[in-house]
Structure formats: C-alpha cells, structure tokens
Amino acid sequence: MQLYFLCTGNSSRSQFAEAYARHYAPADWSIKSAGTNPHGVHPKTIEVLNQEGFDTSRLTSDAIDDDFLNLTDYVVTLCGDARDHCPITPDSVQRVHFPLADPAGVTGSDEEITTFFKTTAADIKQLMKTFITDIQKNA
C-alpha cells in the first residue's frame, strides 16, 4: 500500500498526516508527504510531534514527486489548494480529501498558536486512525 499526503506548504497538515499514518499503518506501507509549494516544516509541527514522542529529525518539506504520485494507491489532500492544484493522476489512484484549516496561518499569542497546532494534530491523528482502519477493512 502506498499513501501520499499533500497540502500547500508541506509544513504542518501533511507532516502530521504522514507521521500518524506511519505510526498506525503496517510497516510495509510506503508513506510520504509533499506540498504544492513547499516552504519548510513549521517549528510548531516539530514541537507538537516531539512532545508526542515522534522522531522529527528526518522531516523534510518536499515538492510533489510525480513518480511516487502516479504509483500511489491513495493521494490525500488536506487543503483546497492542494486538491485544486494536485497534478492529474492515473485512474488507479484513489483521491481522498480532508479539508483542514492551516495551523501555519494562525495568528495570536504563542499559547493560542500552540493550541491550534495541537488541536489540528489531534484531528489528523483521529482521521488517520480511521483512514488506515478503513483501508485495511476494504483491502
């Protein structure tokens, strides 16, 4: 099974999705994330994942890899921009869309921003648990 998570910057939402999917999916699944306009992993993404015990040392913000995209089983977009600008894929690629607000765009106090990141992470964690379970049931 191959999963590809896409958002605009590959800085938060798709990073969370990749981390949680890797955690919940079988070890032999190939899982990556990318952005339509990657601009680095957000420090709050790293902070939240580190607090949960994830190794973030290898997180990178990547552009879409067309070869990986065309061979994937599921491409999951996590924002409207990624959904609207995702390259055309073969009919064999199933597309899934989870519309989520971008935590990287939130303003306010450090505490408010951190809270939004944690809430987004928790939402994505639950989505990934359900998504992985559903894929396994339908395999």
Query: What top-level class would CATH report for the domain 2-130?
Result: alpha beta
Active site residue 79: yes
- Distance of alpha carbon 90 from alpha carbon 108, whole angstroms: 42
Active site residue 5: no
Specify the pLDDT at position 100: 92
Distances from the Cα of 16 to the Cαs of 55, 90, 92, 99, in angstroms?
A: 12, 26, 25, 14
Q: Which of 59, 75, 79, 124 is catalytic?
A: 79
Q: What percent of the chain has pLDDT over 70?
A: 100
Q: Using an 8 Å Cβ cutoff, are 132 and 19 in contact?
A: no
Specify the pLDDT at position 73: 97
Would you tell me the crossing angle of helices 43-51 and 13-24 to the nearest 10 degrees?
30
Domain boundaries, the chain: 2-130
Specify the pLDDT at position 90: 87
Q: Which of 21, 86, 127, 135 is catalytic?
A: 86
Average pLDDT, the chain: 94
Active site residue 20: no
pTM for the whole structure = 0.95
Residue 106 has pLDDT above 90, yes or no: yes
Residue 139 has pLDDT above 80, yes or no: no
Q: Which of 3, 4, 6, 7 is catalytic?
A: 7
The stretch 58-87 carries a mean pLDDT of 91
